[in-house]
Structure 1
Amino acid sequence: MNRRSFVAGMIGGVALGGIGIWGWRASTGSMSEYTRYAAAQRTDLPQDPPLHDLIRYATLAPNSHNTQPWRCAVGKNSIGLLPDFSRSTPAVDPDNHHLFVSLGCAIETLRIAAEATGRPGDVNVEETGAASYVFSSGMPRPGPMFAAIPRRQSTRTDYDRRPVLAADLETLARAAAVPGTGLVLITERPQLDRIRDLVVAGNDAQMADRAYLAELKHWLRFNPRTAMASGDGLFSASSGNPVLPDALGSRAFDLVFTANAENNKYRRWIDSSAGIAVFVGDREDKTHWIAVGRACQRFALAATSLGLRCSFVNQPVEVARFRPELAEIVGASGKRPDLVMRFGYGPVTPFSLRRPVRAVLL
C-alpha cells in the first residue's frame, strides 16, 4: 500500500467513524485562514518602518526546521541577534552549525531591509556567534533582494527541470559573494547525480536514527490550526502532504514515513532541479557559519528575484561521514561543506509561518 492510499484510507475511516466535515475542520483549521495569516506576516514594510517591523522581516529568513532559533535585543541605533539554544535541534545539528547559519540568514535579511528603508549600517559578529546590526540614517536604497524577502520560500516539491541561463547563474554567484565563504554551482548531470546519491545515502542514515525521527516529528505541524498556534515548525502542506488532525498525522507519520518513500522523493526533487549550490566556509567556526548563512540568504533572495525556487538537501553535510566525499565533488577537499541547496523553476507552495515579533524580543 502506498502512502497516498494509506492516508486516504485513514481519512475515510475517520469520516465514517463519525467525525464528519465539521469535526474535521474544527480539528485542523482552514487553509484559507492559514493563507491570510501567512500573508499578514509578509506584508510590505511601510516607509521609515519601526524597528519591530524590521525584525518581522528579519524573521522571514530561512532556518533549520523552522525553529527560529534567535532572540532580538533592540537598542537606540542597533538590533542584536542572539542564539536561542532552547530551539536547537541536537539530533540533526549536534554542534549548532545550522543554528548559527540560521542567524546569518536572519542578520543579512535585517541588513538588506534596513538599508532599503533608510537605515544603512554594518553587521558585527562576535566569536560567540552573537550578531548585531548597527545603523544610522540615510537615503532608502531598495532593490531586487529587498523586494524578494517576503516572497522567498523553501519550495519542497518537484521542479520542472528547465535549465537556468548562464547570465542568471552569474547573477546568483555575484549575489552570494560574501568574504570568508565560497560557492560552487553545479548544473552538469553527472555531478548532480553524485550529489543526489549522497543525499539519498545521508537520508538512509538519518531514517535509521530514532533520535532524528523523533526530533523531526516534534517540529512537524500537520494542520493549519496547529501551525498557526505555534507559529513555527514544518507545515505538512508546504511540502505537498495532506492536512490531518494532530493525532491522525502523528500516527500516519509513524506508519508511512519510510526511508524508501523519502529516498524516492529526494531523487525526484534533485532530478527535477536545474542545479545545486554548495556553500563552503573558509573555516569551521561560528563567525564563518554566520557568514555562510548571509551568503545563502543572498543567493536565495537573488534566486527569488529571478523567478527561481530553492530548498535545502543538507543530508550530506548533516551526516558527517559524507562530508569528505561532497567536499571532493565540489573541489573543496579538506574543508567542511556547510549547505546544499537545490534550485530551479517550480510552483509556489504554502508559506511557512513565523512567531510574532514579541515572542523573539528579549
Structure 2
Amino acid sequence: MTSTRLVPVETLHRIVEIAARAPSVHNTQPWRWRGGSRTLALYADTARRLPHTDPDARNLTLSCGAALHHAQVAAGALGWQTRVARHPDPDRPDLLAFLDLSPGPPPATADETLAALDRRCTDRRRFTAWPVPEERQSHLARIANHWGARAVALTDESERFIAERLVRRAHQLQWADPVARAEQEAWGHRGGDDGLPPDALPGGPDLAGGHPHRFEGAWEDRTATDLETSDGLLVFFDTDDDPAAWLRAGEGLGAMWLAATTAGLALVPLSQVIEVPETRAAFQTEVLGSLAHPLLLVRVGWRSTGRPPPARTPRRPVSEVLELD
C-alpha cells in the first residue's frame, strides 16, 4: 500500500533549495538529501571530500551541518516543525541526520528569515574599519552555542596575536604544498554549478602570491597580515574531535552566519589553520590550553553599505541533490 504523502513535494524542494545555499568548503556542496512522505534525510556526499586537505572529512561534515541548520530554519519558516535525529544509524556513517516534519505555525518573522537566508553569502572583500564590539561577538557565539555548538570570541590581545600567527603559518605551509594547491585549483575553475568561479574572488582569478581560498569557494580571502584590529575573531571548539562535534559546529556556524547577515555583519571562516596538523596542534595548545579541540576559526566584520552585493557562488540544482521515495 502506498503511503499518503504528508509533506508536498514542492515543500521538500523548497527546503532543500534553501538548505543548499549554505556555505561549504570550496563550494563543494558535499550533501545529498532523500525525501520521504514526511521526512528528509541528510547524507554526506563523500565523493566531494577534499582528500588531501580534509582527509578526516571535518570540513565536509561542518559544511553539511550548516546545510542542516538552514533546512531546519527554512522548514520552520515554511510552516513545518522538525524533529532531528543526528547520526541515527551507526552502520551508515554517511547518514548525518534524519528530519521528521510535521505541520506547525510559522513564526511571525518567517518572511524576514527567508529573506536573510536568501541574502546570506561569503563577502570576501575588505571589511569596514569600524570595530565589532566584544558584546556583538559574544552574542554571535551565544547563538552558535544555542544550536549545540561551542564557540567563543577571542578578544584577548595575546590570543589574537597567536591566532593570526598560526593563520599565517598555515597559509605558508599549504601554499608550499603542491598537492594542496592542485586540489584547490581543481575546484577553482570548474565552470559549472559548484566550485569557485573567478569573479567570486577579490582581485579576480589570479591566486599568485599565496592567497588561497577555501569555504563557499573561499573560507578565507586574505593572508593573516591583512587581518585588522577591528576584525572580530571567534573559534568553534569541542572536547571531542569527531563527526558529531563537527556536525554540531556546522549547525552553529549556520546559525551564527544567519545572525551576522541580519545584523549587517560579514563572516568569513578561516579553515586552513585547522586543516594543517602543525597549526591545529599549536592552536589547541597555545590558544585553548589543551582543554579542547579547535574546529574552525571565523573572522567577522562590518559590511560596507556603499557598494553592491558580492558575486554569488553557483549552486547545484535541487534535482541533483534531492532524491524522493
TM-score greater than 0.5 by the shorter chain: yes
Aligned equivalent of 1:289, options 246, 266, 270: 246
Greater Rg by CA: 1
Which residue does 1:237 correspond to in 2? Answer: 199
Within a 5 Å distance, the mapping from 1:208-227 to structure 2 comes to 208-221=176-189, 227=191
| 1:63 pairs with 2:24 | yes
| 1:258 pairs with 2:258 | no
Which residue does 2:257 correspond to in 1? Answer: 300
RMSD (CA atoms): 2.5
Mapped to 2, the partners of 1:261 and 1:80 lie a distance apart of 33
Mapped to 1, the partners of 2:289 and 2:199 lie a distance apart of 36
Residues 339 and 199 (structure 1 numbering): CA distance in 2 closer, same or farther, change over 3 Å?
same
Mapped to 2, the partners of 1:203 and 1:211 lie a distance apart of 14
For structure 2, list consecutive stretches of 5 or more residues without a partner in the other structure. Answer: 1-8, 214-219
CA-to-partner distance for each residue in 1:8-29, whole Å, 9 max, x for gaps? Answer: xxxxxxxxxxxxxxxxxxxxxx
Aligned equivalent of 2:72, options 104, 111, 119: 111
Instruction: Supply the AA of the counterpart residue of 1:356.
Output: P
Within a 5 Å distance, the mapping from 1:267-278 to structure 2 comes to 267-271=224-228, 273-278=230-235
| Greater CA drift, 183-192 or 119-128 | 183-192
Which residue does 1:139 correspond to in 2? Answer: 105
CA-to-partner distance for each residue in 1:202-260, whole Å, 9 max, x for gaps? Answer: 01110111111111101013xxxx64xx1111122222133xxxxxx6xx65xxx2338
More helix by share: 1
Mapped to 2, the partners of 1:125 and 1:269 lie a distance apart of 38
For structure 1, list consecutive stretches of 5 or more residues without a partner in the other structure. Answer: 1-47, 243-248
Q: Please report how far the alpha carbon of residue 265 of structure 1 lies from its aligned counterpart in structure 2 after TM superposition.
A: 3.4
| Greater CA drift, 199-208 or 340-349 | 340-349
Aligned equivalent of 1:159, options 122, 127, 137: 127
Give the SS at the match of 1:65: coil
Mapped to 1, the partners of 2:221 and 2:14 lie a distance apart of 41
Q: Would you identify which runs of 4 or more consecutive aligned residues in structure 1 move more than 4 Å?
A: 143-146, 260-264
Mapped to 2, the partners of 1:215 and 1:295 lie a distance apart of 27
CA-to-partner distance for each residue in 1:316-351, whole Å, 9 max, x for gaps? Answer: 101011123212444351432111110001343111
**CA contact 1:235–1:352 (8 Å) conserved in 2:** yes
Mapped to 2, the partners of 1:129 and 1:334 lie a distance apart of 29
**CA contact 2:138–2:152 (8 Å) conserved in 1:** no
Residues 264 and 182 (structure 1 numbering): CA distance in 2 closer, same or farther, change over 3 Å?
closer
Q: Please report how far the alpha carbon of residue 200 of structure 1 lies from its aligned counterpart in structure 2 after TM superposition.
A: 0.8
Which residue does 1:80 correspond to in 2? Answer: 41
TM-score in terms of structure 2 length? 0.84
CA-to-partner distance for each residue in 1:79-101, whole Å, 9 max, x for gaps? Answer: 11101111110111011111111
Q: Please report how far the alpha carbon of residue 194 of structure 1 lies from its aligned counterpart in structure 2 after TM superposition.
A: 2.0
